[in-house]
Structure 1
Amino acid sequence: MTTSAAARATFGEVMTAHQTVAANTPAVATAQKFAEYLKEKQPANTTTTATSGFAPTPEQLAKSLFGSAYDPETKTVRLDKLAGETAKRTAEFAERLAARLSTASIDQTPPIELSVGLDGRIIVDSTHPQAAQITNLFEDDSALAQAYRNVAAQNDHLATLQAGAAYVKEWNGAKTDAERQMIWNRYGTLMERLSSMFSGRMTFGTAGAIVESQQILRRMDLA
């Protein structure tokens, strides 16, 4: 099965597997940039959702999303450096959190699922036996809470760029405008979901950090 086919086959399953919505300001800002860009390009009597309208070219997406990560000569998106920096910062935060949990005598064996609420609060999954203590930990340590928001936002931004890069790769291989439109419908929806349903969500345990948005892309063979 090709990457494209695998993405299509698992898209519905992956989209329905996670329902808790957590908002993340940088990720929402990225989605807003897409919405504004699409609104400019579409006729006034059409919808402005990411799943309808037109299929932007790689050059058009470069202006609104990729920036210097886009190579116009090869028409590819290079995210190696950003991915490496994001992984490093995520690991550093995981170590910092583990140290704080240990100091507070909080058991790290059950995985701790975190997300960022609409108001910026760090939300701890209520099924964790020490959820209340972990919540207090973030409420009492604003620097730790901000560090989490930062690392979650960086991971979500990377995921959006990775989805966009996958779109560009398939766009380059498409033969017709109709095919490109179908590709955009799929990836436009994916990027929209990454910036809402899956944003700001990470799980921490003895093995380190698991990033929700990255997990989604891995299941689709996009990361």
Structure 2
Amino acid sequence: MSAMSTAASTSVFGDLMNAHQTVASNTPATVAAAKFADYLEEKQSAGKLPSVAPGRSPTPDQLAKVLFGTAYDPDTKTVRLEKLAAEVQKGTAEFAGQFKQRLTAFGVAANMPVELSTGVDGRIIVDNSHPKAAEIAKIFADDPVLAQAYRNIAAQNDQLTLMQAGAAYVKDWNAAKTDGERTALWNRYSTLMNKMTSMFSGRITFGPSTVVAESQQMLRRMGLS
């Protein structure tokens, strides 16, 4: 897989992403699935939004401690995700090319969309609407390297989406004039962000010429993009 650089992963995603990416590419599928389940538990814990007293809202500094890493500038209280977003997009496109080549090698035509997602056991799930779903699922079952590459890129897209939602909150927080406005903002954003994380499933659709991450679509549907 061509994932984002180790430096970027360390500086922005921190221990959360490192725990995910340390699953060796040649690990047997059963062990990889178990480690991925552990990662999901860590992700839920690490991505937890900060607790605040009723009628209060977390400051950008407080939210940065659990979400932004070095993407947050404490001096300007702004979040810069452009570089990270570009790296995730690049990694996703590179995986899409690799996946397309693998489909072609196994005699599966790449002229119709393939929807992939990750199960709680780390298994790569292929949407049954594809006529070759069973064959595609077998490709991943037989190739732990490819399966792990997908888990990585799917998790990066989901985490980026959560960070982008948090960045939108920080922008609105900075523009708010009163504590009451900031509390109302937190009530809205925390509800949306919790809903988003509960719906994350690492789903990405690979079309003949497009790649669509469901988490990014979710961001747009919630009016946060």
TM-score range, shorter chain: 0.7 to 0.9
1:91 aligns with 2:93: yes
1:71 aligns with 2:73: yes
Distance in 2 (CA, whole Å) between partners of 1:183 and 1:213 is 21
Q: 1:113 is matched with which residue? A: 115
TM-score by length of structure 2 reads 0.77
Q: Deviation string for 1:77-105 (max 9, x for gaps)?
A: 00111111111100100000000001111
Q: Deviation string for 1:39-98 (max 9, x for gaps)?
A: xx55xxxxxxxxx76421101011111121111222110011111111110010000000
Q: What one-letter code is carried by the residue in structure 2 that aligns with 1:32?
A: S
User: CA, structure 1 residues 62+87, in 2 after alignment: closer, same or farther (shift >3 Å)?
Assistant: same
Which residue, 33, 41, 46 being the options, matches 1:33? 46
Q: Is the CA contact 2:119–2:201 (under 8 Å) kept in the aligned structure 1?
A: no
Q: 2:83 is matched with which residue? A: 81
Q: 1:173 is matched with which residue? A: 175
Q: 1:206 is matched with which residue? A: 208
TM-score by length of structure 1 reads 0.77
Between stretches 193-202 and 62-71, larger displacement belongs to 193-202
Q: Is the CA contact 2:116–2:204 (under 8 Å) kept in the aligned structure 1?
A: yes
User: CA, structure 1 residues 158+65, in 2 after alignment: closer, same or farther (shift >3 Å)?
Assistant: same
- Aligned residue pairs, count: 190
User: CA, structure 1 residues 34+185, in 2 after alignment: closer, same or farther (shift >3 Å)?
Assistant: farther
Structure 2's unaligned 5+ residue stretches are 1-35
SS at structure 2 position matched to 1:210: strand
Structure 1's unaligned 5+ residue stretches are 1-22, 43-51
CA displacement at 1:182 relative to structure 2: 1.9
CA displacement at 1:198 relative to structure 2: 2.9
Distance in 2 (CA, whole Å) between partners of 1:80 and 1:27 is 25
User: CA, structure 1 residues 26+77, in 2 after alignment: closer, same or farther (shift >3 Å)?
Assistant: farther
- Runs ≥4 residues deviating over 6 A: none
Task: Tell which has more relative contact order, 1 or 2 (C-alpha 8 A, sep 6+).
Answer: 1
- Percent of residue pairs bearing the same amino acid type: 56
Q: Deviation string for 1:4-39 (max 9, x for gaps)?
A: xxxxxxxxxxxxxxxxxxx9875764442354742x
